Structure 1
């Protein structure tokens, strides 16, 4: 008889421990949600910016475009000079080399302008308390438009 009572006590204690664990997991889940686990996306401020418009008005873009146009013109002249006695396959290969050089030049010239724009977006986002700023084209609904603020930040940073 003693054995039966002992087994019954073990079952009761096991069920009590399991119940406490379930309750503990439930409480932790609720606390985690209140600490930002579930509410962070609901309370976050999202900004949107028209990146193309900001880039078009960025200081330094005109100089970058002038440099790229000059590089393209120089490449075209050099290509015409080097390729006049080449067959079509060699001309195509040379054209690809010049195109690669122009792409590298474009990246080199535009990268500082893009960095300035990105830095201005981050600065405006921090100033306005935004947690995320996305390109306006990706937004279907909502978001705070910070395009003019970013443009103003760029002008202020250039002074």
Structure 2
């Protein structure tokens, strides 16, 4: 069942990585097209915003409970299965667990994205990137986004 937990962790990491990559790549064409015009670029530390999200620890605990339940399910129902069936069952549980986690985390991600957009609009920013992508310059809006998320 450790495989199930590893798969779940990998799926979550991939989901955050992919959403981060798409979030970073999506504005690239727009930024390139407007390279000659005056722009105001902001940046936000998404990890810090996520960690500051109200009730996030409760969600993390709920996800851990779901993982524990999936582990018990696997231990109970897969112990006598052949190796191939165990793997298929593990994959099924991993998919179900990832879907449940997505359902729990989607409202968090949606609220964070809406808060980033609102703060950017209020500050007149034409682009916002993740703080990890910033090499030089830009306006840090992390504190403002955290304040808005907590409203």
Alpha-carbon distance between aligned partners in 2 of 1:41 and 1:58, rounded to the nearest angstrom: 37
Alpha-carbon distance between aligned partners in 1 of 2:36 and 2:76, rounded to the nearest angstrom: 59
Runs of 4+ in 1 over 2 A off after TM superposition: 38-42
> Is 1:147 matched up with 2:142?
yes
Structure 2 gap segments, 5+ residues each: 1-32
**Residue from 114, 123, 132 that aligns with 2:109:** 114
Q: How many residues align?
A: 119
Q: In the TM superposition, what is the alpha-carbon distance from 1:42 to its structure 2 partner?
A: 3.5
Counterpart of 1:43 in 2: which secondary structure? coil
CA distance 1:41–1:101, shift in 2 (3 Å): farther
Whether the 8 Å contact between 1:47 and 1:130 is mirrored in structure 2 is yes
Alpha-carbon distance between aligned partners in 2 of 1:72 and 1:39, rounded to the nearest angstrom: 46
Counterpart of 2:128 in 1: which secondary structure? strand
Deviations 1:5-41 (A, max 9, x none): xxxxxxxxxxxxxxxxxxxxxxxxxxxxxxxxx8775
**Bigger relative contact order, structure 1 or 2 (CA pairs below 8 A, ≥6 apart):** 2
Structure 1 gap segments, 5+ residues each: 1-37
CA RMSD, 1 decimal: 1.6
Q: In the TM superposition, what is the alpha-carbon distance from 1:64 to its structure 2 partner?
A: 1.8
Taking structure 1 as the reference length, the TM-score comes to 0.70
Alpha-carbon distance between aligned partners in 1 of 2:90 and 2:75, rounded to the nearest angstrom: 10
Q: In the TM superposition, what is the alpha-carbon distance from 1:71 to its structure 2 partner?
A: 0.9
More helix by percentage? 1
Q: Who is 2:118 aligned against? A: 123
> Is 1:50 matched up with 2:45?
yes
> Is 1:103 matched up with 2:103?
no
